[in-house]
Structures are given as C-alpha cells and as structure tokens.
Structure 1
Amino acid sequence: MTVLNTTIRRWSRFASGLLLASAALCVPLQAQVPAPEPASPAAQAPAVPQDGPPAGDGALDAARVDTFLDGLVPYLMAQGDLAGAVVTVVENGRVVTERGFGFADVAKRTPVDPQTTLFRPGSISKLFVWTAVMQLVEQGRLDLDTDINTYLDFQVPTKGQPITLRQVMTHTTGLEERMRHLIVLGPDHPDTDEQYLKDWVPEQIFAPGTKPAYSNYATGVAAYIVARISGQSFEDYAQAHILGPLGMQYASFQQQLPAELLPHVANGYRLGSGDAWLAEKTTAPGIGGLYASGGSMARFMLAMLNHGELDGQRILRPESVAQMFAPQPAILPHLPRMALGWMTSDTGGYDTRSHGGTTLFFYSWLYLVPERNIGLFVSTNSAGRDAAGSALRAQVWERFVAEFLPQRPIVAAGPGVDADTARAHAAALARVSWQSTRRSDSSYLRVVNLLSPVRIHPQADGTITVDGQKGLNGQLLRWREVAPWLWQEAHGRGLLEVKIEDGKPVYFSAGPFASVFGYEPFPAWRSPGWLRPALLVSLALLVLSALLRVGGVFVRRHYGVAAPVDARGLRAAQTLSITVLLAGVLAWALYAQAISAPGGVADYRDLPLLLVQALSWLGVLAALVLVWVAVRKPATWPRLRRFGSWVVALAGLVLAFVSWTQGLLTTGVQV
C-alpha cells in the first residue's frame, strides 16, 4: 500500500509540475529552493565599491553588476546542480552586461557564451506571438475584439459569446489545458502543429472573459492565425518581421535549426551532473519553441523598452507597445493584472512587465521595468535539484532589484481587521478544497486535482498559509488580512484576494501569477475533502481483503482443510472482481510512471492508454458484481463474511465513482 501511495503521489507531482511547466508559471512566489544562508560568503550580494556610483542612480555600472552576478549565480548553480546559465541586463538603450555561467555541454566542457549559446526561453516565445499579432493589428488585418473563429479553418468552442484575440492575449478564453503533442523530444519528431491544434480541440470550461486560465492552446491558435493571415509559417513570419529586423542573429523558431545555428545549442539537463537529453520540440513553435542567446534576448528587450524600435528598425508603433503594457480589467481588482500578453507585477515597489518560460529542462524569465528603462533576461539549461532553475531565475531578479534600484517602502494595502473577523474568514477559506482554473478537465488528468488539491491553513498568529506558495527561503508564505477578504504577505508586498458571492468564497488568487490563473472550489459531490480519504480507505480495504484471501489459501493448505463449497461461485466472482479493481489501480500507477519521463504526457502511445481505460470500465463492472454478491450472499456465510461482502462492495463503488468523476472512463486518447 505504501508503494502504491508513493506512486500515486509521484504521478500527482509530475502531472501538476508539467502543467505548470508548460505555462511557465514557476514564479518567484512559488520558488521551491531555499535561499542561500546569509552566513555563506558566496551567497552574499557583493558590497558596493566605495568609488562606485550609488545604487539606482540611473546608470548601472557594468563592473558592479558583474561582481554581483559572479557572487550569486555560480553559488545558486552549485547548490541546485545546474549545468549552465545566462544573464543579460540592459538599461537606457545599452547592454549593461551579458554573462554566461557553467556549461552548454557538460561532457565536452563547452562554456556558455552569452552572445552565441542558444537557450530555450520556453513561454517567453509567446511575447513574439503577441508582437506579431499587434503588427497585423496595426496593418488592419486583425482585430483584437473579433471572434477568432472568423480567422480559422476549424472551430474553437464558445460558451455564449465568441473568444477574441484580446481574451487570448489575457488568458481569459476559458479553455482547458491541452497536453498531447505539446512538447516532444527530438527535432525530427513527426508531431505537428496541425495535430496539436486540430486532432482534439479542448473544451471551454469557463465563459470567455470571466476567469483567467493560462492557455498554451489558445496561444497556439493565435500563432496559427498569424500564419493564416500573413501567408507564412509562424517560424518564417517571426524571422522576417521580428528576429531579422532586430538583428537577433542567434535566434530562431525553427525546430529543426539551420546548420549554422546547430553548433551553438545548449544541451538540456534534468541535473547538471546527469546526462543530456534530446532537444525539445514544441510542435506549435509560437507557444514555446524559440531558440535564443542571451545577447539576442537583450536586443528584444531594448526594442520593447524603446517603444518598438532598435537601431532604426521599428517592429511596433509606440502606441502599440503602450497598449501591450497597459493592464487589462481583472476579476480581483487589488491583484496584478494581465496586460496584452505581458504579466504585470510589483518587484520592490516597481511596476514590472515580464513573462516566464519553462520547458522540460530550461527555466527562463524576462523582466522589464519601463519606468527605469531596465530589462533583465535569465535562463538555465537544467531543471536542477528541487526546481533550482526556477529558484535561480527568481532570486537573480529579486536580488538585482534590491541591490541596484532605490528601495521603496512597503505600504500596507489596508488598515487591518479585528481578530474575530480574521479568524472567521480564515476558517471559511480552510473549509474549502480549491482547484486551479488552469487545468485539464475532460481527460484523465482531472485526477491530478483530486490528488493535489490546494488548501488554506489558518495559523495561530492570525495569518494564513496556502499550499505550494513559498518564498525564496523555501518556507510557506504567511498572509495577514489587511482589509475584508484581502490579505498581504507578512513583511512583503504580495497580496491575496478572495471573491465573495452570497457570503461564500468562490474564487481567490495571489501574487504575480494572479494575472493568469486563480482557484475556485471543487463541487461538493467530488470534493477531495471527502473523496480522497474515501479512496485511500477503499484501496486499503480491497488490499486487505485480497491479502486475507491469499493468506486463507496458505492457511488451509497448511492445515489440510478444504475450501468451503457453499456459494463457491459467489466467492469466485468476488475474488475476481477485487482482482480486477486492484489491477486497474496498479495499471494506472504503472502508466503514470511510464509517462513520467520528459515529454511523456505529450508523446504517449495510444494503446497503453486505451488498455488502462478499458480496465477502468471493467472495474466499474467489477464494482457492480461486488454489489450483486453482497445482495445474493447466502445465509450460511458467517456474519463477519456477510458484513465484509458489503464492505468490499462499498469500496468497489468508491473506486468506480472515482473513475467516473476523475475522467478515467474517458474513451480515446484526448489529453
């Protein structure tokens, strides 16, 4: 049983992690690796040179920035077992520094060259899709508020009103997550963007414009629209209208890179001390398929900070850039909003525009502070130990702002609430099991929500904590209520806000990722609050029953006692049904392990999934047989055996109910 529980938990962590990875939402708030201990000299931010300019005077000193990065990045890489990293910083129309750390190829000891080494920025690629969309809007060939289906040769479902490009750019399409064909291994893999976009169109689980739910699929649709309207593949369009004009020589959306770029690709690693993996292929390249060096990303940052122009080459009008940077309406007014394709956030009191990117092996983030004309790009080519890649990109940015920009005081977002109100509100939130608005809801991946619900926990000091929301020190963040249904991070700027309807909490979100997803309650009939314990108890009872039956065989053999002959058929049916149910659970666990390799969910084979789905259907039949046995049990059975027949029947019904409610009975290979 312990092994089974461990396997299920591993599958839950894997699937949840991959969903977040594909969205590039491992934001600083969720960093999992503890910050370096202050006592460690290597972890200390370097002291300001006595003859250097004061921090934040508007002219970053390259030597100071290099010293800062040299003291921080190698330490974090060593702590997290990362192979290589790149950091570029720009300010006021110039490149301040471009730094490479570690190795692009560990086996060959090839160092990272910030100018030429190609990293995989992941979902930062989406910024180029939005740039392309805005270019076509400028030309009058696209409209942000027109039904996207008017631009397509297939139909995306809608709930009551059409989906628009504005909703695509703000991740409010309401579409569920789509995994199959998303990221596969090997640049020559046969999967295509047509397969990703057309072989199964995901369902719309919210009305468009009502809730944020980060959508890779919707971005893929936007890139496809760019291709259809322009008459070029997105890869060629981006090269001709963005990468080429900006002089991004070491950048490409081609998944099979041109020969001149191939020698410059950084290998991807799970751990820097481990083996390199095949190159990742994003079948719809606009979602996350960019290859780019740190130097090339610096040119993109310079262009965006300069209102769409670099070295006399204009990719966007100033008003288009301003429109992209402008926050859009949000469901929770106090939290960071989504701009047109850019995430907004507060870093050290500075209004930031950014986007993250996470692939299977590369962790990246691009940050802009328009008011200071500063940009920073950071990327690693390894996931690292305990998501160290995610922690590094967060710590580099947070510490950079603290070191080089004038400190701004933390301002309370409200006057506070009385202790009784805080306790009552915390208790109301704690009674609810929450699920992310960004989820796969019509396939077997729904089971992830059952296995990994989000819970809110009241603390003795009047604060609350939320599962998974950690600071840079690896500890759960504590939130204190500063106004009714509004919490502020203790000793920080982050906010958590709850939406109330009819006196009940119906939605909450927090921190930088509030612009792209939030949390809503599970329906009571399939809430993990009761269903997950029921599942575990039922599994334990079925395993115990199976062990007792096997043990009974050996005991009878030892004592030479014959098996009872009364109702032998019922006992056999009961034993077979229990075996089928446990075999189905084991099959799903083994299937989860089989797809846990990088790219596994996106690139699974059809037959194994169809087989485990068939076993789930047999499990439903087996549960009904157990009920039939419990009803037909003979009076000659001992009372304990008759009671036990109902116990295993109820346990079987719980497993059948889980299969039905969690998508394990879906037929076909949609995911």
Structure 2
Amino acid sequence: MPLTPEDVDAWLDGVVPSLLDREGIVGATVVIVDDGEVVTQRGFGWAEVDANGTGVRPVDPARTLFRIGSVSKVVVGTAVMQLVERGQLDLDAPVEDYLDLEIQARFATPITLRHLLTHTAGFEDRVSNVLLPEGAEAPELRDAVRPPPPQIFEPGTTPAYSNYSSTLAAYIVERVSGEPFAEYARKNVFEPAEMGTASFEQPLPEDLAAMATTTYPSAGEPATHFEHLGPWPSGSVSASGADMAAFMLAHLDSDSSPLLSPTSLETMHSRALSADTLGGLADGDSMAISFYEQTRNGVSGIAHGGDLSHDHAELWLSPQRGSGIFVGFNSSGVRNDSPAAFREIIIDGFVTRYLASAQATPQQLDTSVDHAAQLAGVYELSRRAESTFVRIYSAASKVTVRADGVGAITLTGITDLAGVPLRFVQVEPWLWQSARGSDQLSVRVGEDGSIEAIALHPAFVITPMSPWRAAVVPTLVASIALLLIAVVAWPVRAVAGVVFTKPLRQRPRDRRLRLLSLLAAVAALAAVGLWLMAAVQMLNFGGLSHLVVRTAQALTLIGILGAVPAFWRAVRMVRERRWWPAALAVLTVVGFLGWAYVALVGGLLTPSLHP
C-alpha cells in the first residue's frame, strides 16, 4: 500500500475513533513520518472533557502535550551519545570514572554507560517513589541516584529493566556537561530538533501547562493530577505529536541530523550487546542504545514504550526504511491492557499495511518437542528486588512456561488481543516466534544444558525460579489458613463451652501458652493485611509509608516468635494425651513455622526501606 497522506489519514480515520470508543480512551495523537517528511500528525478525541464527559478541548497534534513516559529514555540516550561523539564520555568506561558516588559492586565486571543504556547494569528494581505523591517535588538528580540499588546480575549478561540506570546516565550527562540535565536536554536535544514544546520539567512552566492534556483513568472518570516522577529523566518528558515527529525525523536523518553524526546514529540504532555476554539471548531482538530492537512482520525496527499511571505512549522507527510512528494516549481505558492493545493495533497495522511483505508461517524444528519440554517450568522476572521486602512480591509474580506436547509453548500472561495465550514455535535452535510475527523468545542455555534465561523482551528476561521461592506463595496460603483456624477456634470453643456447659479447663501455664500463641497468630494475620497495604501503595506508585512497613515487620516477628509457646503447648498436650487440643496445637505450630519460612525466604524482615 502506498504510504501517502491520503491513504494514511483514511486508514487512521477508519481505525482510531472506533478504538477510542471501544477501549474507553479519551484522547490520542498519532504521528507518522517517512522519507524525511511528516506524512501525517493527527489528534483524536479530547485533551479535556467536562464533568459530564462532554469534550471541552480537542487534541491538537501541534499544541497538545502528552506525557511520553519511558520514551524519555531515548532522549537520555541521545544526550549521552552527543557527549560520546564529543569525546567527553566513553560508552565502555566504568561509570565510576564520571561519578561522585560509590556503587557497591558485587561483580568484578565494571558497570559502563553501555550497560546503563541497555538495562544490563544488573541493578535490582526499585518500585517506591517512582511516581511521587500529589504535590511532592521531584528530587534533585544527585538525590535521585543516591543510594544506588544493589546488583543482582553481572553487568552485560542479563537484561533487567531499570529506571535507575537511565537516571544515573542522565546524572553523568549533568556532571560531565556542567549544567542541569533538563537544561542540557532543552539546549542540545529539543531545540536543535525543533521540538518547540517538549520539556522534562515537573511541574510544567505555566505556558506549557496550559497546553498539556488532562489525564483520565478512563472515559467518564474524573481527571487525575499531573504526576511527578522521582527518577524523572527516565520518564517525565511532556511533548506534542509535532515534537515527536521532529524527534523521529532527527533520528532518521542519517546524513544531516541536527542531533548526532551518521556514525553516532548508527551506533545508537545498532545492537549494543553481543553473544559474548548475552549468550543465546542475543539470537533474538536485543537492546540498542536506549532503543530496543523490535522486528514486526519481518521489518526490522527500534522502539521504546512509555507508561505512567494513565499516560501511555510508544515510538517505533525503521532506520532502514526511513519510516516511523508515534502514538500517545491520555488515559488507561476500560481494561488493564487497553493502551497496549490500542498501540499494538495501530503500530502493527502501520507496519503491515505500508512496510511489510508477505511472511511465511513459522515452522517448528525437529528439536521443538524436546526443547519445549526443557523450557517447561516456573520462572521469575529479572526486573525484581532481592535485598528488600519486595522480594516476596517478586516471588508471587511467577511466570509459568507450558509445553503443549507437540513442540510449542505458551507463557502465563502473554496473550493475543483476544486474551488467548500466544503459541510460540521454535524457528531456529532455541529461538521461538509467535504466529503473528512480532513476538520472539530467545533462550540462553548453560554449558550443562540447563535453561538460564528466556528473553521475553530485549529489556527483561525470566530466569528459573528456585523450588524454595516457588514454595513461598502456597506456604503463605497454608499458613494463613492454619493460623486463621487457630484464631477462630478460640471463640468457637468458648461459645461451645457455654452452650454445652463444658467450659475449657486449663492449667494456668497452659492458659498463658494458649493466649500467647493466639496473640501471635493475630499479629501474623494483621501483618498480612499491612503487607497487602504496602503492596497497594507501591502498585499505585505512591509514597510508601515507612510506618506501615515497620509495623508490619514488628508484627511479622511476633508471629514468628509465636512458634515457641505453640510448640511448648503442643508438647504439653501430647504428654497429657489430650489429643484434640494437641492436634490443634501442632497445626498452629506448623502455621507459625510456615509463616517464618515465608518471612525469611520472602525477605519480610530485611532492614532496607528503599524498595
């Protein structure tokens, strides 16, 4: 299909308005560039609606600013490459050469800018203070990068998505250039690329704030506030569709880009890591500098997505074809995956309609059945925490790989737009592809034949979950059930004693032991509630209450110590051959021991308050 403004506009008019209605998204912008020109830049829906849902301000692609989330990381990468081009930075020098803070390295391999910009520095994830409470001011960049999170992977070996890494790279730009990063980006990226309204600032200056879209959870719901990020260089850019068109054209201009030389552009757009460190993970799409490779229907591309609570965006470029597309939304829609489904339809539709040629249906290999059976199992995301209590939430977020017995695999949570699990077949040794052509899974196999990692995305992988960690969730459920039985049995027995005139007769010591164990059980159950509260706070990207965490830890410890009086009481009941009380006491002991296991393996008692 010819890539003309007339055809593109007709295609968008036939697709986008219906998607807005179906997904409950208030407003969107779509921008397409090709061969050094803007093919189209469109606004759909509303940048603002009134309390009745009636449109007040339509989306203007030239003047309505959208939050682009983690697409901002590409701006950080561009800034780094400019200083590399000037000889002020080296992608492969240890980052500590440029820093005034110490990183507690766990591995001999030093962290480099290449690692920071490819999510392979090995840092564990941080989830608190990513989005700050309403009204909170974003920290100075130096404060945002202190203290560094611990490492859990050797640099260069394991992609693990990291907002911190991009923020640290921005801080290095700030230190080496001698000016605040937001100011550097304005003068050296936004202005040369003619991105006249783009800004990292939080809050936006008054003139730009008047242009910003209002953000909504979904159509018909009240607006939300302008979100402030803690690690702000990793996702705080506000930009119009026209700004993003200019940015795409600057990156696609391989001869006279206002941002980077042809050599620097090629470096930034090319695969940044090799099989020397990634192993078999390099067989599929991998990371470039701040971009991730994303092949769609046989068309090679580089991309980056961005998501705040309710602002969403995605950028996709094909440097070989000189084409690109950007989509941005100001709401999350009616389903958790509404923005993802929307942008998948638009971007995949663009590539399929205008750039792709017919692709053969992937055919599986003779080794597929055996390899699928080897892959089957339970895994966990590389984007996780190990040194804080967030470890328990990582353990609860397991991914199950299933082999279908005929050479294909499916994975928990990876579905098509209809919610049906995607089926992957092996198209090369240890490289798997879905039938729709835009999803790849590459696998790193150890020298002993064990599965070390599966790449779900260039920026993160899944690694095998140990049996110890896999047992955390079922142990937690069983422990809660047993301790709940113990707590409920107390008033039930008291009521039964009154009704049947058979009061429970206990020696004073047994009464004290029973009371202590019951109070400990209540403490453990209360701790579960507080840990759930902490999880909600973090999932909503709000400020994590240290009081909630410390109280939960204190109650957790009391619950663990409850095993002592419960065990003592169980021994006494057995000695006295009081079998029913003994059985209940033994079950209570098992509940406490299970709770202790969950606390220790799940990291509930770790002292750090920087999850």
Relative to the length of structure 1, the TM-score reads 0.85
Q: Take 2:16 and 2:48, find their aligned partners in 1: how far apart are those partners?
A: 18
Q: 1:547 aligns with which of 460, 483, 488?
A: 488
Residue 289 of structure 1 corresponds to 236
Q: Take 1:252 and 1:258, find their aligned partners in 2: how far apart are those partners?
A: 9
Q: Take 1:493 and 1:384, find their aligned partners in 2: how far apart are those partners?
A: 24
What is the deviation of 1:285? 2.6
The 3 A distance-change label for structure 1 pair 292 and 667 is same
Q: 2:6 aligns with which of 63, 76, 87?
A: 63
The 3 A distance-change label for structure 1 pair 143 and 422 is closer
The 3 A distance-change label for structure 1 pair 72 and 338 is same
What is the deviation of 1:439? 1.1
Give yes or no for contact 2:199–2:238 (8 Å, CA) kept in 1: yes
* 1:575 corresponds to 2:524: no
Pairwise mapping of residues 256-655 of structure 1 onto structure 2 (< 5 A)?
Answer: 256-307=203-254, 309=256, 314-328=258-272, 329-330=274-275, 331=278, 332-386=281-335, 387-410=337-360, 412=362, 416-417=365-366, 422-430=368-376, 432-459=377-404, 461-490=406-435, 492=437, 494-501=439-446, 502-510=448-456, 513=457, 515-526=458-469, 528=470, 530-566=471-507, 567-596=510-539, 598-600=540-542, 603-633=543-573, 635-636=575-576, 638-655=578-595
Larger relative contact order (CA 8 Å, sep ≥ 6): 1
What is the deviation of 1:94? 1.0
SS across alignment from 2:101: coil
Q: Take 1:164 and 1:112, find their aligned partners in 2: how far apart are those partners?
A: 41
Q: Per-residue CA shift, 1:97-133, capped at 9, x if unaligned?
A: 1111111112262111110111011111111111111
Give yes or no for contact 2:401–2:410 (8 Å, CA) kept in 1: yes
Name the amino acid aligned to 1:584.
Answer: A
Name the amino acid aligned to 1:150.
Answer: D
Residue 239 of structure 1 corresponds to 186
Q: Per-residue CA shift, 1:372-405, capped at 9, x if unaligned?
A: 2111100101111222112111110001112222
The 3 A distance-change label for structure 1 pair 637 and 666 is same
Q: Take 1:309 and 1:317, find their aligned partners in 2: how far apart are those partners?
A: 7
SS across alignment from 1:211: coil
* 1:227 corresponds to 2:174: yes
What is the deviation of 1:465? 0.6
Q: Take 1:488 and 1:388, find their aligned partners in 2: how far apart are those partners?
A: 23
SS across alignment from 1:371: coil
SS across alignment from 1:109: strand
What is the deviation of 1:624? 3.5
What is the deviation of 1:559? 3.0
Q: Take 2:438 and 2:412, find their aligned partners in 1: how far apart are those partners?
A: 19
Gaps of 5+ in 1: 1-54
Name the amino acid aligned to 2:553.
Answer: Q
The 3 A distance-change label for structure 1 pair 287 and 492 is closer
Name the amino acid aligned to 1:155.
Answer: E
Name the amino acid aligned to 2:128.
Answer: R
Give yes or no for contact 2:468–2:601 (8 Å, CA) kept in 1: no
Q: 1:86 aligns with which of 13, 26, 29?
A: 29
Q: Take 1:637 and 1:585, find their aligned partners in 2: how far apart are those partners?
A: 34
Name the amino acid aligned to 2:569.
Answer: V
Name the amino acid aligned to 1:506.
Answer: E
What is the deviation of 1:185? 4.2
What is the deviation of 1:634? 5.6
Which 10-residue stretch deviates more, 481-490 or 111-120? 481-490
Q: Per-residue CA shift, 1:43-91, capped at 9, x if unaligned?
A: xxxxxxxxxxxx14xxx21121111111111111111111111001111
Q: Take 1:265 and 1:187, find their aligned partners in 2: how far apart are those partners?
A: 17
The 3 A distance-change label for structure 1 pair 620 and 193 is farther
Q: Take 2:269 and 2:128, find their aligned partners in 1: how far apart are those partners?
A: 32
What is the deviation of 1:324? 0.6
Give yes or no for contact 2:42–2:61 (8 Å, CA) kept in 1: yes
What is the deviation of 1:611? 1.3
Relative to the length of structure 2, the TM-score reads 0.93
RMSD: 2.0
SS across alignment from 2:541: coil
Q: Take 1:291 and 1:491, find their aligned partners in 2: how far apart are those partners?
A: 32
The 3 A distance-change label for structure 1 pair 271 and 415 is closer
Q: Take 1:408 and 1:583, find their aligned partners in 2: how far apart are those partners?
A: 58
Give yes or no for contact 1:192–1:284 (8 Å, CA) kept in 2: no
Name the amino acid aligned to 1:323.
Answer: T
Gaps of 5+ in 2: none
Give yes or no for contact 2:385–2:394 (8 Å, CA) kept in 1: no
Q: Take 2:595 and 2:80, find their aligned partners in 1: how far apart are those partners?
A: 47
What is the deviation of 1:456? 0.8
The 3 A distance-change label for structure 1 pair 185 and 102 is farther
Q: Take 2:44 and 2:82, find their aligned partners in 1: how far apart are those partners?
A: 35
